[in-house]
Structure 1
């Protein structure tokens, strides 16, 4: 498996570990929150950048992989959307930074940004997107 796959798998596994941060923790799902669900978390890779390379071979060995963790919540009547997603976002953040190496799958996690999207589908759903960077190391010509 590639380093990107390893990092995304480790994030999903951490968020699903008992007790899971949501009943729905999925990987690269396009329609994240069905009508029957109140919350959902979707993890997807965004990209990877080379940080360092071996001088003799030119092979990259230090990478930063950007991972997006989308936190979805349905805002009940009378609750502001940003408040509705806040507890889920907090739980995701705390879980991932509990072990910033994800059990050794990455060298370190670094929070990068949080963005919000409101009522994306007309169903009073809010999405708080946490971008985290995973520092990773590879050997030779492998990913």
Structure 2
């Protein structure tokens, strides 16, 4: 059995893969190298951290605030990569807005207040851009467990 945090990442990946899948279906969980040389775009969903608030009653549910990063990658393919990554970012926000409870896996999914978005552009084998969006997912587990 996996933790509730792992289940949350899986639910986000599943939502991004609903047809038509974003980024041509190149959606990865916690991948170190997000794009092969021949891939124009991709998404990586990662857990950054998860904090808990213990229940007031022993044995009651533990409430979690899990910070999830969704990284939107794009290579230069005729357009500037930041423009392609930006369009992918808009699609991510639109798709996740359709499932604010991740189909019952969470209490809520909201953009992280304050430090929501960050941009990077780099030159590797080709010019590549990455826009990272941070989301807070509120969810609960049984008692003092991770499930």
Q: TM (normalized to structure 1)?
A: 0.90
User: What corresponds to 2:5 in structure 1?
Assistant: 4
Q: CA deviation at 1:75?
A: 2.2
Once the two structures are superposed, what CA deviation does each residue of 1:25-68 show, in whole Å capped at 9, x if it has no partner? Answer: 11111111111111100111111011x32234387611100011
- 24, 44, 47: which one pairs with 1:45? 47
Q: Secondary structure at the match of 2:19?
A: coil
Q: C-alpha distance in 2, partners of 1:71/1:111? A: 15
Q: CA deviation at 1:85?
A: 1.1
Q: Secondary structure at the match of 2:87?
A: helix
Which 4+ residue blocks in structure 1 deviate beyond 4 angstroms? none
Q: C-alpha distance in 1, partners of 2:85/2:58? A: 47
Q: C-alpha distance in 1, partners of 2:73/2:136? A: 20
Q: CA deviation at 1:76?
A: 3.1
Once the two structures are superposed, what CA deviation does each residue of 1:72-123 show, in whole Å capped at 9, x if it has no partner? Answer: 001234x343212111111111111111101001110011111111115352
User: What corresponds to 1:129 in structure 2?
Assistant: 132
Aligned-residue RMSD, C-alpha: 1.7
The within-5 A match list for 1:1-143 is 1-23=2-24, 24-50=26-52, 52-57=53-58, 61-77=62-78, 79-112=79-112, 113-119=116-122, 121-143=124-146
Q: Secondary structure at the match of 1:22?
A: helix
Aligned residues: 141
Q: Secondary structure at the match of 1:29?
A: coil
Q: C-alpha distance in 2, partners of 1:120/1:7? A: 32
